[in-house]
């Protein structure tokens, strides 16, 4: 339980509140692909992958920072976490995009009508482009797997309106595997122009695919993390300072954790679908670190038996069964 932490532990630590995301090789690959699309000024593209792999956390915690380092500039980027009811009306659709852009007038109790919201959205995007001295804007849609055909048509109109005024809008979508099927569906229902515009460029987001990638992730907890900010103290160092200063590292147990992931995968999955979701790995790793903070012996905490037990508690096997047959 959370109340069993030693007094020295700050309950606002991001590992306890889970307001953090360890940077992973799949996140790096996803951001690199989006960066390439920005270089090419593609009108659209989509990233797809099973749930719990880390797509949304990548967007929330790393995307903008890493892209701006790559381009050495501030990017005209809007991230819209699409709500399930965004398609209920066109006014609601534009209102959500305005809110995602941090438009100062989008937080009133009464959202604007469609006749006001659509042109307001165009002008807001132009304003964002001008603020970065560019004629280019990027809209990234997270949870895009349930986007409706009418929403895509509204976005075609938005792109056309901006193009007419001399501005280019790239729309990149991120969602589950369902989005991968949308391209063929649109093409077969007479909307190939929408598929060609937004979905011709696509890229799969993978889970962790090797013990080496897992070691990279665990090193994030060992060394490549920090709390509080600018403290230089990693997550492992904060929670288990004695173990850390003795040279003990979670990344040294990557092979054992990888073996446990394979052992807990349902029959037939380990060979067919040997890539594993970050959520279950992070939950198990957090639990082991918390055990160390409460004084559990290092050898017992990072034993294969304990690693197997902690991964099992995350319902990893059930999740793998679902995503490998989806």
In tens, the pLDDT along 38-79 reads 999 999 999 999 888 999 999 999 999 999 999 999 999 999
State the average pLDDT for the chain: 91
How many other C-beta atoms can be found within 10 angstroms of the C-beta atom of residue 201? 17
Please give the structure tokens belonging to residue 248.
Answer: 């003990």
Backbone angles phi and psi of 175, in degrees to 5: -165, -170
What is the per-residue pLDDT across 112-170, written as a single tens digit (0 to 9) for each? Answer: 677 788 999 999 999 999 999 999 999 999 999 888 889 999 999 999 999 999 999 99
Beginning with the edge strand found earlier in the chain, give each strand of the sheet holding 77-81 in spatial order: 77-81, 136-142, 168-175, 44-48, 202-204
Stated as kind and residue range, the H or E segment containing 182 is helix 178-188
Do residues 117 and 98 make contact, with C-beta atoms less than 8 angstroms apart?
Answer: yes
What is the per-residue pLDDT across 182-236, written as a single tens digit (0 to 9) for each? Answer: 667 777 777 888 888 998 899 999 999 999 999 999 999 999 999 999 999 999 9
- pLDDT at res. 94: 92
Q: How far is CA 95 from CA 106, 158, 165, 204, in A?
A: 7, 13, 21, 30
Q: How far is CA 235 from CA 9, 13, 246, in A?
A: 11, 9, 15
pLDDT for 1 beyond 60: no
pTM equals: 0.92
Residue 131's contacts (CB-CB under 8 Å, 6 or more residues apart) are 76
pLDDT for 319 beyond 70: yes
Radius of gyration of the chain (CA): 22
Query: How many whole angstroms from its chain centre is CA 213?
Result: 17
Residue pointed to by tokens 């959370």:
2
């Amino acid at each position: 339980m959370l109340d069993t932490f030693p007094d020295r532990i700050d309950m606002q630590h991001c590992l306890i509140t889970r307001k953090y995301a360890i940077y992973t090789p799949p996140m790096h690959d996803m951001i690199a692909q989006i960066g390439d699309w920005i270089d090419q000024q593609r009108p659209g593209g989509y990233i797809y992958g099973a749930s719990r792999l880390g797509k949304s956390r990548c967007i929330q915690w790393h995307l903008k920072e890493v892209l701006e380092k790559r381009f050495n500039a501030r990017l005209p980027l809007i991230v819209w976490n699409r709500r399930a009811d965004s398609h209920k009306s066109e006014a609601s659709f534009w209102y959500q995009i305005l809110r995602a852009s941090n438009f100062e007038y989008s937080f009133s109790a009464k959202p604007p009508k469609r006749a006001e919201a659509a042109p307001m959205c165009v002008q807001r995007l132009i304003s964002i482009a001008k603020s970065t001295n560019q004629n280019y804007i990027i809209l990234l849609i997270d949870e895009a797997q349930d986007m409706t055909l009418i929403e895509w048509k509204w976005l075609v109109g938005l792109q056309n309106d901006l193009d007419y005024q001399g501005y280019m809008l790239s729309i990149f979508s991120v969602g589950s595997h369902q989005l991968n099927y949308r391209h063929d569906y649109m093409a077969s229902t007479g909307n190939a122009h929408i598929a060609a515009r937004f979905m011709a460029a696509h890229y799969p987001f993978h889970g962790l695919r090797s013990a080496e990638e897992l070691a990279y992730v665990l090193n994030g907890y060992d060394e490549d993390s920090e709390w509080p900010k600018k403290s230089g103290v990693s997550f492992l160092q904060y929670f288990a300072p004695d173990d850390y200063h003795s040279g003990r590292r979670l990344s040294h147990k990557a092979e054992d954790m990888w073996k446990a992931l394979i052992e807990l995968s349902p029959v037939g999955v380990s060979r067919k679908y040997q890539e594993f979701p970050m959520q279950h790995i992070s939950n198990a790793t957090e639990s082991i670190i918390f055990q160390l903070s409460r004084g559990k012996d290092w050898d017992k905490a990072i034993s294969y038996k304990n690693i197997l037990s902690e991964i099992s508690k995350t319902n990893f096997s059930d999740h793998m069964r679902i995503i490998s047959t989806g």
